[in-house]
Chains A and B, each alone.
Chain A
Amino acid sequence: MELNILTLEDRYAKFEIKGITPAIANALRRTLINDIPKLAIHKVIFHHGQIRDMQGKVYDSSTPLFDEIIAHRLGLIPLPTDLNMNFREDCDHPPDEGCPMCTVTYTLNKHGPATVYSGDLIPVGDEKFRPVDPLIPIVKLKDTQAILLEAEAILGTAKQHAKWQVTSGVAYKYHREIEVDKEESDLWEKVKEACPDAVVYEDSKKIIFTDDVECKLLAELISFENPVIREDDTWFVFQFETDGSLTAKDVLKYAITRLKNRFSHLRESASLG
């Protein structure tokens, strides 16, 4: 098995793996989608009644959106995640309590007229837990309204709820080679010029392209001419995006370790039986 990183950005990764079966590729895809832990707000306590500001002005705790909707929107905000934290059920205390190892507490206090953004969420304690994206709008407030709440974020995986989903657009495809006969094709020279990275092999009679690299002209060639297309079902090109709570590198590392542990657990269990 061989893994090559093709593109690695903070929130995006593209890589290829050679020498695996489709079953393994799909296992990795599904791990990337729903088995990566991340922090998300799970419990919100709203202050109901009058809210006073520093000058003593009285605000009303009502907002244009229902509390449930605000709580839901808060849950979906990506929060920076420390993978050394525990799942709440792995902590020693009762499951309805929290400790610094499994819980991050946030407060939000804002009075109108204003738009409340994710950046207004203040972590109690470590500053590193400030939301990754400070510009997600949560709710709008009129000049007589204010919002005061406390929120608890815990680790979870996307198996339980989409708010714990780190990755989006996780996909893989086979490595494909497109063999073009130079005499039969009119487009190959243009494709070669536009996407020199896509050329795998060339001699006087034929040229072979790959669509692992994005190339609009090559797609045109495939649909208008009739090249020989060969797919390799042991060579996979993966890509995925993250929401910023973890970097693409951390996600990939965690997914591979997680998959390895699950397979070794399976192997042990099978040999015991």
Chain B
Amino acid sequence: MMVPVRCFSCGRPIASEYNAFISRINLIRETENREPTTEEIQKIFDDLGIKRYCCRRMILSHVELIDDVMPFD
């Protein structure tokens, strides 16, 4: 559904960085017409200050389903 507010493992707030991450990814997709490389994704995480891999997986593995669910409530 919506992105979790905090990292499940360490408790760092990550929800506000999710949108920033997605817009940076989409910028690469739109301007260069390709998927971002692992190095670029790593760079984005470093810029956002998300250091630990527990917080990184929260964002990488999240699927935003709220728009699919909204018509059914």
Residue of chain A at shortest CB distance from B15 = A136
**A165 and B11 form a contact (CB under 8 A):** yes
Residues in A whose Cβ lies below 8 Å from that of B18: 137
Closest B residue to A165 by CB, please name it.
Answer: B11
Q: Report Cα–Cα, A200/B29, bound state, in Å.
A: 46
Interface class of chain A by DSSP: loop
Name A76's contact: one of B5, B52, B67, B70 (CB within 8 Å).
Answer: B5
Q: A64-B66, A65-B2 are in contact. Are A137 and B73 (CB under 8 A)?
A: no
- Known A-B contacts A76-B5, A137-B19, A138-B2; A244 and B67 likewise in contact (beta carbons under 8 Å): no
Counting chain B CB atoms within 10 Å of each CB, which of A65, A73, A168, A244 scores highest?
A168
A136-B13 in contact (CB<8A): yes
- The verdict on A63 contacting B3 (CB below 8 Å), with A136-B13, A168-B12 known, is no
User: Which B residues between 1 and 40 are near A, CB-CB below 8 angstroms?
Assistant: 1-3, 5-7, 10-13, 15-16, 18-19
Interface size class of A (residues with CB under 8 A): 20 to 34
Residues in chain A near residue B13, CB distance under 8 A: 76-78, 133, 136, 243-244
Cβ < 8 Å to B, chain A residues 218-247: 241, 243-244
Near B by CB (< 8 A), chain A positions 21-59 give none
Q: B43 at the A/B interface (Cβ < 8 Å)?
A: no
A-side residues, CB < 8 A to B, are 62-65, 69, 73, 76-78, 118, 133, 135-140, 142, 158, 162, 165, 168-169, 241, 243-244
Q: Can you list 6 pairs linking A and B with CB atoms under 8 Å apart?
A: A118-B16, A133-B13, A136-B15, A142-B70, A243-B11, A243-B13
